[in-house]
Amino acid sequence: MELILSAGIGALTASGVYLLLRPRTYQVVIGLSLLSYAVNLFIFGMGRLRVNAPPILEPGGVGDLAHHADPIPQALVLTAIVIGFAMTALFLVVLLASRGFTGTDHVDGREQRGD
């Protein structure tokens, strides 16, 4: 499991990073989304991987790490997802505004040679 998930995180990161370096704003926004998936999974993985041990207690119960996955990274990821969503929205609107003002969807607001 660990191996597969790490590979997945790596692939998401690589794709995201590659897109971050691209000249089109749309590429960057997709890249940021991919990167945020990667980061969220990374955070999640820091609590170690557990199958079928959701941190949900029996009513009145007391949980422990032997039977429940670490809830903290999950809570952190939730926050990160929300913030990531907000930032994607923001970046998108800014790139629209930039395109509106400059007429191009290049990240620098004007076409560069060889992009």
Please state the closest distance from residue 106 (CB atom) to another protein, in A: 9
CA angle 19, 9, 48 (to 5 degrees): 155
CA nearest to 68, candidates 80, 51, 85: 51
Q: Does 82 bind another protein (CB under 8 A)?
A: yes
Chain-centroid distance, C-alpha 5? 14
**Interface mask toward another protein for 16-55; x: CB under 8 A:** xxxxxxxxxxxxxxxxxxxxxxxxxxxxxxxxxxxxxxxx
Please state the closest distance from residue 86 (CB atom) to another protein, in A: 4
Please state the closest distance from residue 37 (CB atom) to another protein, in A: 5
Please state the closest distance from residue 102 (CB atom) to another protein, in A: 6
Q: Does 93 bind another protein (CB under 8 A)?
A: yes
* CB-based contacts of 95, cutoff 8 Å, min separation 6: 25, 26, 28, 29, 105
Q: Does 94 bind another protein (CB under 8 A)?
A: yes
Asked if 71 contacts 23 with a C-beta cutoff of 8 angstroms, the reply is no
Q: Does 57 bind another protein (CB under 8 A)?
A: yes
Q: Does 61 bind another protein (CB under 8 A)?
A: yes
The DSSP bridge partners found for residue 42 are none
